A and B are shown apart, each in its own frame.
Chain A
Amino acid sequence: MDLFPLYNSLRVAAISTVITFFTGIAAAYYIAKTPRVVKGILDCVLTLPMVLPPTVVGFFLLKTIGPLGPVGSRVLELFGARLVMVWYSAIFATTIVTFPLMYRTARGAFEAFDETLLYSGQTLGLSNTYLFWRVMMPNCRQGILAGTVLAFARALGEYGATTMVTGYIPGRTATISTTVYQFWREGNDALAYRWVGVNLIISAAVLIVVNLLENRYRQPGRAAKDVLSDEEDVIR
């Protein structure tokens, strides 16, 4: 069995996860600070790829980075490189599809973060960068970790948009999901089953890793103990 699809899927998923990790977190961090209306609009636009059918995303991508699209034609002209029907075309597709997963989970984690920790850090003279990496990220790691793993898993399984921009070229652009489809179409059930098996194993492994990480990082409650306000005292 040619293992190229496994290797190709893993490298595409890994690269797009790295990209969405940084862009998703940056977007979540900066959008949280914008006014409400702007936040609403940006939120809607950035989440769209999650709810749109992947084929629609693929269609827009082809229209943009295809040889006739505004970006694709320029790159072809300048570098002589095609952006579609090559292995790295899948990175564009999976990055766009997985971005909302990372962005939304990171934003949820940042919103739940206790801002007084940042304020107190600032009054103690700690720089904003230091506070972001050493205080905010560690305290939001559960959400961010979950977002990262979900994004990776989604990138591995992406089919619709990927197949539109990469097609299926054995040994060059084939991924696990496009391979399964191809073997089924050819009536080669035996090989299709093998790749389905590979897919199942990877997915199960991802879920087990998520659960293990969650258990390991589960913290015994927040910093301050239950803060009883005086009003509650009166009621008691």
Chain B
Amino acid sequence: MTISVDIRKRMGDFLLDVNFETGNEVLALLGASGCGKSMTLMCLAGVLKPDEGRIVLDGRVLFDSRGGINLPPQERRVGLLFQNYALFPNMTVEGNILTVLRKERRERRREKLAALLEKFYLQGLESHYPSQLSGGQQQRVALARILASDPSLVMLDEPLSALDTYLRWQLEAELVRLLEQFEGTTLYVSHNRSEVYRICRKVCVMHQGISDPVCGVAELFEKPGTLPAALLSGCQNYSRIERLSPRTVSALDWGVELTCGDDVTEDSRYIGVRAHSLNIIGGPGENAFACNVLRKAEDVFETILIVSPGTNGSGRANSNIRIELPKDAVRDIREGDDLWVTVRPDDVMLLRHRAPARIPAGHGVPPPGRERISRSEKQKAPGDIPAEKPKDADCAVFQAKQEKSRAG
């Protein structure tokens, strides 16, 4: 069972350009809010019509703009779990599931219903209305209802985001168990990198409506490849670079020279360094540079230092670096101190600008949205407080969410 998606759609200034292919597994679509993840799911479900492209599920063509094929949602066999679960409020749990099975023979219908109720721990709730159920119970009913329709593809739209943090862990474990029993392809949409890391093996990063190539989850976190992917994977420190030699770069925003673990390629535009990859050392050494501590913030289990490269006064205003260290290691450090920071060459991630968008036929001019992005990337924003880092509103929201997921 495979799905291959290659669609483009334009809505006002927004351009959706999604291209991925996946087999019998859980593929994550990871992206900030408003990057087009939900829109992609709507296009796959047949509720929205792409401008052009092709969607093929298990050899069945669901949509093909050239062949003039656009199957209605009813014939696609694509299940979509909405963020709010979209249970019919006027029907009981049993009614919600039976409505999907109503074309089956009576005994068969009862059998299937009983099996689903058992599988999703819904026994005893048959005659409850959705408004009488907890968020987790509603989710289970919605999943049971989707599986009752016997889909070849199941899509989950931020399935855990509507739940309280302490409930999430429990439901996540349950969800993973239920997903394992489903024998088709699953698309898991999320903005939460940790969730994706735990639940999915493969991931497709989306940024401003455009998808990156599918890669393994581990790969995304070790070598994100592009700047948006690095940001989504939680990397907070990045700098424009200039190539000095095959293995060394000058980080322009930090004013330091760094050695990389990999060869610097032609299209490397940035480096990214994760906050926990940085360490404090006594003095100069390989990949070490002097910093001045601007802020020291206590997090739950670690301490966050916001430092500016260069010693006191010489640092640049808009190039702050975030470091996370165990509390013990930084007990004696105070704001205003100068110190030396180092990073292993293997932890310096080389990043490309991003995958280029393909513009739909008939739209020769690049949309204004794209220009805006590239401008804001050129005038790099201050790197200290995450919310200020990328200029786009989307990214700001994303960063705020990230902050939260770190805390939680």
Binding site for B on A (CB under 8 A): 114, 116-117, 119-127, 134-135, 138-139, 219-225, 227-231, 233-234
Contact = CB atoms under 8 A, between A and B. Distances in A.
Contact of B162 (A124, A125, A224): A224
B84 A126 contact: no
Contact of A126 (B45, B99, B138): B99
B131 A220 contact: yes
B90 A135 contact: yes
A124 B46 CA distance: 12
Contacts of A126: 74, 99-100
Interface of B: 42, 45-47, 72-80, 82-90, 99-100, 130-132, 134-135, 138, 142, 145-146, 148-149, 161-162, 164-165, 191, 397, 400-401, 403-404
Contact of A224 (B80, B84, B164): B84
Contact of B80 (A117, A120, A219, A222): A120
Contacts of B100: 124-126
A138 B74 contact: no
When A and B form their complex, which 4 residue pairs have the shortest distance between CB atoms, in order from nearest?
A: A120-B86, A122-B73, A224-B84, A138-B90
B131 A124 contact: no
A223 B47 contact: no
Contacts of B134: 225
A122 B48 CA distance: 12
A134 B99 contact: yes
Contacts of A222: 89, 131
A125 B74 contact: yes
A84 to B, nearest CB: 44
A113 to B, nearest CB: 11
B221 to A, nearest CB: 21
Given A122-B46, A123-B73, A126-B100, A116 B90 contact: no
A119 B45 contact: yes
10 contacts: A123-B45, A123-B78, A123-B146, A124-B99, A124-B100, A125-B77, A125-B100, A135-B88, A135-B90, A230-B401
B120 to A, nearest CB: 16
A223 B131 contact: yes
A129 B164 CA distance: 37
A38 to B, nearest CB: 20
A231 B397 CA distance: 7
Given A117-B89, A122-B46, A234-B400, 4 more contacts: A139-B90, A221-B131, A230-B191, A231-B401
Given A120-B80, A230-B404, A219 B149 contact: no
A233 B404 contact: yes
B45 A139 contact: no
A228 B161 CA distance: 8
Contacts of A234: 400-401, 403-404
A125 B79 CA distance: 9
A221 B129 CA distance: 11
In this complex, which of A135, A225, A228, A230 has the most chain B Cβ atoms within 10 angstroms of its Cβ? A230
Contacts of B161: 229-230
Contacts of A123: 45-47, 73-74, 76, 78-80, 146, 149
Contact of B131 (A122, A127, A219): A219
A139 B130 CA distance: 13
Contacts of B87: 223-224
Taking each of A120, A123, A222, which has the highest tally of chain B beta carbons within 10 Å of its own beta carbon? A123
Given A224-B138, A231-B400, A234-B404, A119 B42 contact: yes
B366 to A, nearest CB: 27
A116 B74 CA distance: 15
Contacts of B86: 114, 116-117, 119-120, 223
Contacts of B148: 124
B149 A125 contact: yes
A147 B267 CA distance: 64
A204 B214 CA distance: 67
Nearest to B88: A135
Nearest to B133: A225
B145 A124 contact: yes
B8 to A, nearest CB: 21
A110 to B, nearest CB: 15
A191 to B, nearest CB: 48
A234 B396 CA distance: 12
A120 B138 contact: no
Nearest to B48: A119
A114 B87 CA distance: 11
Nearest to B397: A231
A219 B90 CA distance: 9
B85 A223 contact: yes
Contacts of A139: 88-90
A136 B397 CA distance: 34
B135 to A, nearest CB: 5
A119 B138 contact: no
Contacts of A231: 397, 400-401
B382 to A, nearest CB: 20
